[in-house]
Amino acid sequence: MLKRILRRIYVSPEESVMEMILEHASLCKRAVQLLEEVLKLAVKGEVSERGIMGVEKAEREADKLRRAILDQLAEGALPPLSREDFVRLAERVDMVADWSREACRVIRAISDPSRLAKVGKPLLDLASYAREAAEKLFEALQALNTDLERARELIAEVERIEDRGDWTYAECLALLSRSWSEINDPLVLILVEDVENVVDASEDASDVLEEIIVRALR
């Protein structure tokens, strides 16, 4: 009985940080989901200021939470190795939202968004992979507390999504090359690269997560 009561009123440092990391990852996931919606309109020639502002808000909140995570880790309640793992994980996950914000900045800067129609299909496919990778990463983080093998399966799925994203990125580049005389805007290329970086950021974070899991299973 006493143990159950103590468990209710005491949260271990690891649990507290993990809750913050999950909330942080949820915000990063939200940024990617909103980015996909912004891109769906952008390829039709529309710039959704509301959507872009939503991405920026999610990124700001995620960055604020990342700093809070680092502040809590700096208090030294965790062993040095655990602190290092959590710092790396938080920083990698944060890049998912950072690259989503960068992509939105480019969309806002493109003078004629209708030019995106030339790469519309593969660009939207790439955005879909970015969203899927962020969602699977979040699921893997959720599974970290309950089922490490399931978490590893989800990490493997992130890697498979990233591989498909690489092929789609190459398809975007091929279309840009063939249609450059009509597009003639380097910002379109930068946008494609930014969306690809969103996919890569989820995969980078999943690599850190896998290292943590492998160490835990030893």
CATH number reported for the structural domain that contains residue 209 in this entry = 1.20.58.220
**Does residue 3 sit within a domain?**
no
**Does residue 4 sit within a domain?**
no
pLDDT of residue 212: 87
**Does residue 78 sit within a domain?**
yes
Name the band, by pLDDT with cuts 50, 70 and 90, for residue 83: confident
**Does residue 185 sit within a domain?**
yes
Spatial distance between the Cα atoms of 210 and 205, rounded to a whole number of angstroms = 9
User: Which stretch of 65-79, 96-110, 126-140, 184-198 has the lowest confidence by average pLDDT?
Assistant: 65-79
Mean pLDDT across the stretch 10-24? 78
pLDDT of residue 8: 42
Residues spanned by the domain of 149: 12-217
pLDDT of residue 156: 98
**Does residue 170 sit within a domain?**
yes
Mean pLDDT across the stretch 197-210? 97
Q: How many residues belong to the chain? A: 218
pLDDT of residue 133: 98
Higher pLDDT, residue 75 or 110: 110
Phi-psi region of 47 (alpha: psi -120 to 50; beta: other; left: phi over 0): beta
**Does residue 81 sit within a domain?**
yes
Residue 158 identity (one-letter amino acid): V
**Does residue 7 sit within a domain?**
no
Name the band, by pLDDT with cuts 50, 70 and 90, for residue 166: very high
Q: Taking the alpha carbons of 194, 200, 202, 205 in that order, is the dihedral positive or negative?
A: negative
pLDDT of residue 155: 98
pLDDT of residue 81: 52
**Does residue 5 sit within a domain?**
no
Name the band, by pLDDT with cuts 50, 70 and 90, for residue 78: low
Q: How many domains does the chain have?
A: 1
pTM exceeds cut of 0.95: no
Triad 58, 50, 37: Cα angle to 5°: 75
Write down the mean pLDDT value for the chain.
90
Percentage above 90 pLDDT, the chain:
77
Higher pLDDT, residue 22 or 12: 22
Instruction: List, for residues 28-42, the tens digit of each pLDDT value.
Output: 999 999 999 999 999
pLDDT of residue 6: 31
Long-range contacts of 32-36 (CB under 8 A, 24+ apart): 32/96, 32/97, 32/100, 32/130, 32/131, 32/134, 32/198, 33/131, 33/134, 34/58, 34/100, 35/100, 35/103, 35/104, 35/127, 35/130, 35/131, 35/195, 35/198, 36/124, 36/127, 36/128, 36/130, 36/131
152 pLDDT more than 90: yes
pLDDT of residue 106: 98
Q: Taking the alpha carbons of 195, 201, 202, 203 in that order, is the dihedral positive or negative?
A: positive
What's the Rg (C-alpha) of the chain? 19
Mean pLDDT across the stretch 175-190? 94
